[in-house]
Structure 1
Amino acid sequence: MENMLTQAICRILRPLLRILHRKGVAFGEFSQLAKQIYVEVSEDVLAATGERPTTSRIAIATGLTRKDVAQLRQAANEDGYSPTPSYNRGARVMTGWLHDTEFLDAAGKAVRLPLQGDTGSFAALVSRYSGDMPYRAMLQEMVRVGAVEVDEVSASVQLLGSGYIPHGDESEKFSILGTDVAALIATIDHNLTTQERSQLYFQRKVSYDNLPEEALPAFKAMVEKDGLGLLIKFNEWLATQDRDSNPQAGGTGQMRAGVGIYYFEEPVAAQPEADKRIEDEN
Structure 2
Amino acid sequence: MPSRSAIVLQTVLHAARPLVRLLLRNGVAYPAFAAALKSVFLDVARDELRREGAKATDSALSLRSGVHRRDVRTLTQAQGMASPAEDEAPMNMAAQVVARWLATPDCLDDAGLPRPLPRAGEAPSFEALVAAISTDVRPRAVLDELARLGMAEVDGDAVRLLAPGFVPHQGFAEMAFFMQHNLHDHAAAAVANLADQSNYLEQAVFVDDLSAASAQQLHATAAKAWRQAFKAVMHEAQALHDHDRQSLPAAERGHRARFGTYFFTTDHDDPAS
Alignment TM class, shorter chain as reference: 0.7 to 0.9
CA contact (8 A) 1:98 1:104 kept: yes
What's the offset of the Cα at 1:131?
4.6
* Secondary structure, counterpart of 2:153 in structure 1: strand
Distance 2:244 2:150 in 1: 27
Q: Pick the aligned partner of 1:123 from 127, 134, 146.
A: 127
What's the offset of the Cα at 1:26?
2.7
For structure 2, which runs of at least 5 residues remain unmatched after alignment?
none
> TM-score, length-normalised on structure 1?
0.84
Distance 2:255 2:229 in 1: 22
* Secondary structure, counterpart of 1:149 in structure 2: strand
Distance 1:50 1:250 in 2: 30
> TM-score, length-normalised on structure 2?
0.87
* Secondary structure, counterpart of 2:246 in structure 1: coil
**Equivalent position of 1:275 in the other structure:** none
Q: 1:43 to 1:106 in 2, by over 3 A?
A: closer
**Equivalent position of 1:60 in the other structure:** 63
**Equivalent position of 1:218 in the other structure:** 217
Distance 1:59 1:261 in 2: 37
Structure 1 position 180 matched with structure 2 position 175:
no
Distance 1:18 1:99 in 2: 36
Q: 1:88 to 1:221 in 2, by over 3 A?
A: farther
What's the offset of the Cα at 1:238?
1.0
Q: Read off the aligned partner of 1:241 and give its amino acid letter.
A: L
**Equivalent position of 1:248 in the other structure:** 246
**Equivalent position of 2:206 in the other structure:** 207
**Equivalent position of 1:26 in the other structure:** 29
**Equivalent position of 1:274 in the other structure:** none
Q: 1:259 to 1:122 in 2, by over 3 A?
A: same
CA contact (8 A) 1:148 1:158 kept: yes
Distance 1:234 1:108 in 2: 14
**Equivalent position of 2:108 in the other structure:** 104
For structure 1, which runs of at least 5 residues remain unmatched after alignment?
271-282
Distance 1:44 1:86 in 2: 20
Q: 1:132 to 1:247 in 2, by over 3 A?
A: farther
Q: 1:147 to 1:246 in 2, by over 3 A?
A: farther
- 1:147-190 Cα deviation digits (max 9, x unpaired): 00124xx2321111222111111001111121011101111121
The 10-residue stretch of structure 1 (33-42 or 56-65) with the greater mean CA deviation from structure 2: 56-65
Distance 2:189 2:112 in 1: 34
What's the offset of the Cα at 1:18?
0.9
What's the offset of the Cα at 1:194?
2.4
The structure having more radius of gyration, on CA atoms, is 1
Q: Read off the aligned partner of 1:13 and give its amino acid letter.
A: A
**Equivalent position of 2:231 in the other structure:** 232
Aligned residues: 263
Distance 1:239 1:107 in 2: 19
- 1:56-89 Cα deviation digits (max 9, x unpaired): 1111122222111000111111125433448564
The 10-residue stretch of structure 1 (213-222 or 105-114) with the greater mean CA deviation from structure 2: 105-114
Q: Read off the aligned partner of 1:78 and give its amino acid letter.
A: M
CA contact (8 A) 1:242 1:249 kept: no
**Equivalent position of 1:155 in the other structure:** 157
The 10-residue stretch of structure 1 (52-61 or 89-98) with the greater mean CA deviation from structure 2: 89-98
Q: Read off the aligned partner of 1:75 and give its amino acid letter.
A: A
What's the offset of the Cα at 1:109?
3.2
